[in-house]
Amino acid sequence: MKRFLYFPCVLCLVIGLLVGVLLPVDFQEDGQPAPPGNAPDTFIPPPGASPGQSSASSGSDSSEAVLDQADNFPLLSTACAVNRCLQRQSWSALAAYVHPERGVTFTPYSTVKLDADLNFTPDQIKNLGQDQNVYTWGFEDGRGGPIKMTAAQYIQRYVYDKDYTQAPEIGVDSIITAGNALENLTEAYPDCRFVDFSFPSADPVNDGMDWSSLKLVFEAKGEHWYLVGVVHGEWTI
């Protein structure tokens, strides 16, 4: 059984293309201490952004920067930026975070099936707002019927079914809430890290039987974390 350190805190992160978005969270991290104090207002520009797009300059050549994969702050900041892009349906901004070679794979329930789940390239994500194609994303849990939806319909139902910028709990490489479905994210993405934005319960009366989560999976490439997976989780019968 995994042991988690549980830290209530207020996490002030800059997400998306704007600065100063406040996320009230209970921060959980597998075996890691909480960051000291509130996280600073730091803008993580999309991969490929010109140096002039950065909100702050360290005074050093950005080409010399090396991504510290053990540093959780860049990962968490990038995840929050992607979260904000999804909330705002900013597809062009989101496309800049998608892995240029691997693309991003969408999983409707907690069990990742890379050989069956749909994968989209950055260009496809960029044009998501105009995509009227109906795709088969998988099968409904419990019912078994095919999930046939446009990309916009799928994202509304199986990605952003809640406002995850307001998620009360966030897990870094830790799954906050799990149900009956197999949680195989770490096996499916062995060389990646993930951030879990979780609503353990929308209403206490339901005793957790209304939980949902948005897990964003990233792979390090060069100086950036790139989005490679979007895994939706929810309570099912």
Q: What does the pLDDT read at residue 194? A: 98
At 206-221, the pLDDT tens digits run 665 779 999 999 999 9
Rounded to 5°, the CA angle 70-222-49 comes to: 110
Identify which of 183, 230, 237 has the alpha carbon closest to the alpha carbon of residue 82: 230
Neighbouring C-beta atoms of residue 66, cutoff 10 Å: 7
Q: What does the pLDDT read at residue 208? A: 59
What does the alpha-carbon distance between residue 157 and residue 2 come to, in Å, rounded to a whole number? Answer: 30
Mean pLDDT throughout 39-64? 45
Rounded to 5°, the CA angle 85-67-219 comes to: 55
At 193-209, the pLDDT tens digits run 999 999 987 667 766 57
Assessment of whether the complete model's pTM goes beyond 0.85: no
Q: What does the pLDDT read at residue 207? A: 62
Residue 237: pLDDT band with limits 50, 70, 90: low
Mean pLDDT of the chain: 78
Domain ranges of the chain: 5-46+67-234
Which residues fall within 8 angstroms of residue 62, CB to CB, at 6 or more apart? 51, 54, 223
Q: What does the pLDDT read at residue 13? A: 37
What does the alpha-carbon distance between residue 78 and residue 90 come to, in Å, rounded to a whole number? Answer: 15
Which residues fall within 8 angstroms of residue 162, CB to CB, at 6 or more apart? 199, 202, 212, 214
At 67-125, the pLDDT tens digits run 899 999 999 999 999 999 999 999 999 999 999 999 999 999 999 999 999 999 999 99
Cα Rg of the chain (Å, integer): 17
Q: Does pLDDT of 10 surpass 70?
A: no
Q: Does pLDDT of 138 surpass 70?
A: yes
At 13-40, the pLDDT tens digits run 333 333 333 343 344 444 333 332 223 3
Let me know how long the chain is. Answer: 237
Q: What does the pLDDT read at residue 204? A: 73
Residue 185: pLDDT band with limits 50, 70, 90: very high
How many Cα atoms sit within 13 Å of 221 on the Cβ side? 15
Backbone angles phi, psi at 196, to 5 degrees: -105, 115
Q: What is the DSSP string of 159-195?
A: T-SS-GGG-SEEEESS-----SS---HHHHSTT-EEE
